[in-house]
C-alpha cells in the first residue's frame, strides 16, 4: 500500500509539472522527458543531463524537452528503473544495480575486474559490451545513451584501513549489487546495501561506519564532514550508463530519434570533459577539507576479493569473466 501511495504522489507531481509547462511557453512540446538522478546539482552527471536537455530542446524547436531531478528527488536508483519501465518517468543513470534484472550487468560494477580506464574502454567497446547494451534493451527495456566514466572507487572510514585485516567487520554501505556484497564479505567487512541518498545521515548516526565511492561522489555528497580517512583501495573501475526507456524512445518519430541520439553523443563527450577537469581538482579539495589519504596494500585486497567474486558467478558468467580478462589484457 505504501508503494502505491508513493507512486500516486509521483504521478500527481509529474501531471502538475506537465500542466504547468503547457500553460505558457511549452505549448509546442510533444515529448516531455523526466530524468531522476542520484547526484546533486554540482555533479558532472547533472550538468551533462542539463546540457543534453538544452540540445534536444533547441534542435527539435521545442518539440522535445527534458526536466532533470537531482538527489533522488523523484525516486531512489532501483525505484527509478521501475518507474521508467512503468512509463511514469523516462531517464536515469545506472549500471551495476541493473544486475537485479540481467546478470550480464554485474560486469559493469564488479570489484577487482579491471585494472584501469583503458581496460574499461576495451570492455565497453567489445562484443561483450555490445551484449550488455542489447540485454538492457531486450530484458529490461532500457536503452544506453553512451557511458559516463566514474573513476576508481575508494573506501572512506573513521579509522585507517591499510590491509583487509584492518576491516574487522567494519559496517560498509554498498550499492544494491551482489558483487559488492560478495567482495566485501570476503575481505572481512559487513557490507550493507543502501540507497545513496541515505548514506550521509546513516554515517552521521552511526548506522554504518564506512562507504566506498569515486572521489567525485565523495566530494559531491559531503562525506568529508563525517569521514576522516580516504583509503586508496581502487578496488573498482566503473562506469554508468545514461538510460532512456526503450518504449519512450520508440515513441519518437524518426527525425526526433536522430536528434536525440546525436545529442546523447555530445552529452557523453561533454560529461567526459567535465569529469577530467573535475578529477584533477577534487582530490586536493578533499585534502583541504581534512580527509587523510591512506595508501593500502592493493595486492592483498585483490588476492582476498577477486576469487570470491569469481566463485559467486554462474558457470555461464564465469566464462564471460574469463573472456573479459582476455579482452582487457
**Interatomic CA distance for residues 55 and 193, integer angstroms:** 36
pLDDT in tens, 24-55: 444 589 999 999 999 999 999 999 999 999 99
Nearest to 100 by CA among 147, 153, 136: 136
Q: Which is the CATH superfamily of the domain at 2-150+239-280?
A: Bacterial extracellular solute-binding protein, family 7 (3.40.190.170)
Assess contact for 317 and 250: CB atoms under 8 A.
no
3-class secondary structure per residue, 99-154? HHCCHHHHHHCCCCCCCCHHHHHHHHHCHHHHHHHHHHHHHHCEEECCCEEEEEEE
The tens digit of pLDDT for each residue in 123-155 reads 999 999 999 999 999 999 999 999 999 889 999
Q: What is the pLDDT of residue 137?
A: 98
- Rounded to two decimals, the pTM is 0.86
Per-residue pLDDT, 280: 78
Distance from C-alpha of 37 to C-alpha of 39, rounded to nearest angstrom: 6
Tens-digit pLDDT profile for residues 275-292: 999 987 999 999 999 999
**Residue 320 scores a pLDDT above 80:** yes
**pLDDT tens-digit profile of 210-250?**
999 999 999 999 999 999 999 999 999 989 999 999 999 99
H or E stretch covering 49: helix 44-59
Considering the chain, tell me which residue range(s) the CATH 3.40.190.170 domain(s) occupy. Answer: 2-150+239-280, 152-237+283-327
As its CATH architecture, domain 152-237+283-327 has: 3-Layer(aba) Sandwich (3.40)
In the chain, % helix, strand, coil (3-state, to 5) comes to: 55, 20, 25
Where is pLDDT greater, at 178 or 310? 310
Are 162 and 231 spatial neighbours (Cβ–Cβ below 8 Å)? Answer: yes
Confidence class of residue 22 from pLDDT cuts 50, 70 and 90?
Answer: very low
Average pLDDT, the chain: 92
Amino acid at each position: 500500500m505504501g508503494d502505491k501511495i508513493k507512486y500516486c504522489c509521483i504521478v500527481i507531481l509529474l501531471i502538475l509539472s506537465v500542466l504547468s509547462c503547457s500553460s505558457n511557453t511549452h505549448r509546442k512540446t510533444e515529448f516531455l522527458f523526466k530524468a531522476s538522478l542520484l547526484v546533486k546539482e554540482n555533479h558532472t552527471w547533472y550538468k551533462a543531463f542539463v546540457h543534453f536537455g538544452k540540445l534536444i530542446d533547441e534542435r527539435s524547436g521545442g518539440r522535445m524537452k527534458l526536466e532533470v531531478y537531482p538527489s533522488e528527488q523523484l525516486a531512489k536508483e532501483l525505484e527509478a528503473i521501475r518507474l521508467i519501465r512503468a512509463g511514469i518517468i523516462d531517464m536515469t543513470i545506472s549500471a551495476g544495480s541493473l544486475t537485479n534484472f540481467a546478470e550480464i550487468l554485474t560486469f559493469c560494477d564488479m570489484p577487482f575486474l579491471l585494472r584501469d580506464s583503458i581496460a574499461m574502454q576495451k570492455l565497453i567497446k567489445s562484443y561483450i559490451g555490445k551484449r550488455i547494451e542489447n540485454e538492457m534493451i531486450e530484458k529490461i527495456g532500457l536503452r544506453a545513451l553512451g557511458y559516463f566514466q566514474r573513476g576508481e572507487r575508494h573506501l572512506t572510514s573513521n579509522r585507517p584501513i591499510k590491509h583487509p585485516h584492518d576491516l574487522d567487520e567494519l559496517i560498509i554501505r554498498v550499492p544494491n549489487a551482489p558483487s559488492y556484497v560478495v567482495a566485501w564479505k570476503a575481505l572481512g567487512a559487513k557490507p550493507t546495501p543502501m540507497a545513496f541518498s541515505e548514506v550521509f545521515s546513516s554515517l552521521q548516526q552511526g548506522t554504518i561506519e564506512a562507504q566506498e565511492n569515486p572521489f567525485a561522489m565523495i566530494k559531491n555528497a559531503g562525506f568529508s564532514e563525517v569521514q576522516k580517512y580516504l583509503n586508496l583501495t581502487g578496488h573498482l573501475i566503473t562506469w554508468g550508463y545514461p538510460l532512456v526507456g526503450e518504449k519512450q524512445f520508440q515513441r519518437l518519430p524518426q527525425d526526433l530519434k536522430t536528434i536525440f541520439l546525436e545529442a546523447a553523443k555530445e552529452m557523453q563527450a561533454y560529461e567526459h570533459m567535465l569529469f577530467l577537469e573535475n578529477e584533477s581538482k577534487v582530490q586536493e579539495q578533499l585534502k583541504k577539507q581534512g580527509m587523510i589519504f591512506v595508501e593500502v596494500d592493493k595486492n592483498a585486497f585483490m588476492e582476498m576479493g577477486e576469487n570470491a567474486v569469481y566463485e559467486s558467478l554462474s558457470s555461464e558468467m564465469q566464462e564471460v569473466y574469463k573472456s573479459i580478462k582476455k579482452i582487457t589484457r
